[in-house]
Amino acid sequence: MLDIKFIRENPDAVKENIKKKFQEEKLPLVDEVIGLDKALREAQQEADDLRAKRNKLSKEIGALMAKGEKEKAEEVKKEVTADSERLSELEKSYAEIREKMQPILYNIPQIIDPSVPIGKDDSENVEIERFGEPKVPDFEIPYHTDIMQKFNGIDLDAARRVAGNGFYYLMGDIARLHSAVISYARDFMIDRGFTYVIPPFMIHGNVVQGVMSFPEMDAMMYKIEGEDLYLIGTSEHSMIGRFIDQIIPEEQLPQTLTSYSPCFRKEKGAHGVEERGVYRIHQFEKQEMIVVCKPEDSAYWYDKLWKNTVDLFRSMDIPVRTLECCSGDLADLKCKSCDVEAWSPRQKKYFEVGSCSNLGDAQARRLKIRIKGEKGNYLAHTLNNTVVAPPRMLIAFLENNLCEDGSVNIPEVLRPYMGGREKLA
């Protein structure tokens, strides 16, 4: 969400930013919110003038009464009554205008970073760098659920009977591998200086509106019927929400946190044949990283965060690459974002396993997350990134560590979490 003062003073820049995001239908919102802002400020000014006048007249009434000029005092009282009625009208109008402005401000996208490539959708995202040599073995790699089933590690049929499509039972060694990856990711981030947190898995509606755009909210969030509670789609939601209405002293920054949670997502729409199995599902678990920092530090932390994910995957012998998200692929609250994609030897291509985002002051403005500095309070910057999100990550793991005899190598870093085993066979 942009500052209304910035929109008022830079309407052309705001409109150009909307064009870069290929959201021309939002262009009229700029003039509309500027018009409402003008009406709001005029109402505020008139109300302030009336309050000042009322204070002056109140003193005048007292002086007239003291002189015994009761009739004149009554005339002034009538004027005060009329002004009070007008003030009441203005206050009502003020509230109505603010109510109209809020959803418009929520729908005007954040100003994107100058480094963001311009493009309409994710097909125009730009590859930045590759890490590790992508290899295709000389034997056929089965579909990931077929690999899991050979270990008696997954039951999708039972999950459909119990909960419907988009759910799963993981069992045995595959379930243990899933937990091992999460535990390793937790310790990996703790070793890098992040504080481990288990957050609430449900949040209030005002927090949802503070951390994400309306289209994201509609496409992702499950609401608890009859209550002002939503299931989180990622722990970023409740982790950023933790700082709502808070003023953080500068010396307590940056806040570097890593959080575990289950995640729940509607995943509306059709997603293609390669998203069968456990690629796109309604429930999964994830280790996340969150940073709340001073504005001048957010670019530094953005680079630190995505590199953490790259390092984690490379430690498990999984080749990855980073993609810079183009303007049209950025959610409205994001200034800059990149995806980390893992190599799929079976598909002979990369697929997304994590996303790193710098949201600037957008979430902080909505949630009133401020920093206490020597020269006054100012808005924080917030960032988030996926550490690891199995079971999708398991697809990359199984494919890249599969042997011709059907066994799966366990990288050295995971062995302490797998009872010292070197292979699944």
For position 273, what pLDDT does the model report? 36
What are the respective helix, strand and coil percentages of the chain, to the nearest 5?
Answer: 50, 20, 30
The reported pLDDT for the residue numbered 275 is: 57
Statement: residue 270 has pLDDT above 50: no
CA distance 104 to 12: 17
> Alpha-carbon distance 391 to 153, whole Å?
12
Contact (Cβ atoms closer than 8 angstroms) between residue 406 and residue 399: no
Q: Does the pLDDT at position 271 exceed 50?
A: no
pTM of the predicted model, to two decimals? 0.89
Q: How many CA atoms lie within 13 A of 115 on its CB side?
A: 9
pLDDT at 272: 41
**pLDDT band (50, 70, 90) for residue 333:** very high
Helix axes of 11-20 and 27-67: crossing angle, nearest 10 degrees: 150
Rg (CA), the chain: 28
pLDDT tens readout for residues 34-65:
999 999 999 888 888 888 887 788 777 777 77
> What are residue 222's phi and psi, to 5 degrees?
-95, 130
Between helix 392-401 and helix 172-191 the angle, nearest 10°, is 100
- Give the model confidence (pLDDT) of 25-36 as tens digits: 999 999 999 999
What pLDDT is attached to residue 403?
96
Above 80 in pLDDT, residue 17?
Answer: yes
DSSP one-letter code for 402: B
| Cβ-Cβ contacts under 8 Å for 38 (sequence gap 6 or more) | none
Supply φ then ψ for residue 227, to 5 degrees.
-135, 155
pLDDT computed for residue 245 by the predictor:
97
- Spell out the alpha helix ranges (H) of 224-322: 235-241, 298-314
- State percent of the chain over pLDDT 70: 98
Cis ω before 137 (30° cut-off from 0): no
Residue 67 binned pLDDT confidence (cut-offs 50, 70, 90):
confident
pLDDT at residue 269 greater than cutoff 60: no
- Dihedral sign for Cα 415, 418, 424, 425, please: positive
- Give the integer Cα–Cα distance in Å for 367 and 210: 5
pLDDT band at 86 (very low <50, low <70, confident <90, very high): confident
Q: What is the mean pLDDT of residues 395-408?
A: 96
Is the pLDDT higher at 87 or at 162? 162
Span 403-417, average pLDDT: 96
Residue 70 has pLDDT above 90, yes or no: no
CA distance 201 to 322: 29
CA–CA separation, 163 and 168 (whole Å): 9
Residues of the chain with pLDDT > 90, as a percent, come to 80
Exposed, middle or buried, 175 (CB in 10 Å: 0-12/13-18/19+)?
A: middle
- Going from the N-terminus, what domains does the chain have, and what CATH number goes with each? 4-107 (1.10.287.40), 122-424 (3.30.930.10)
Whether the per-residue pLDDT at 197 is higher than 60: the answer is yes
- Distance, in Å, from the CA atom of 385 to the CA atom of 336, rounded to the nearest integer, reads 12
The structure tokens listed for 298 are 């957010």
Which residue reads 């009872």 in tokens? 419
| pLDDT recorded at residue 69 | 78
Looking at per-residue pLDDT, the higher value among 334 and 218 belongs to 334
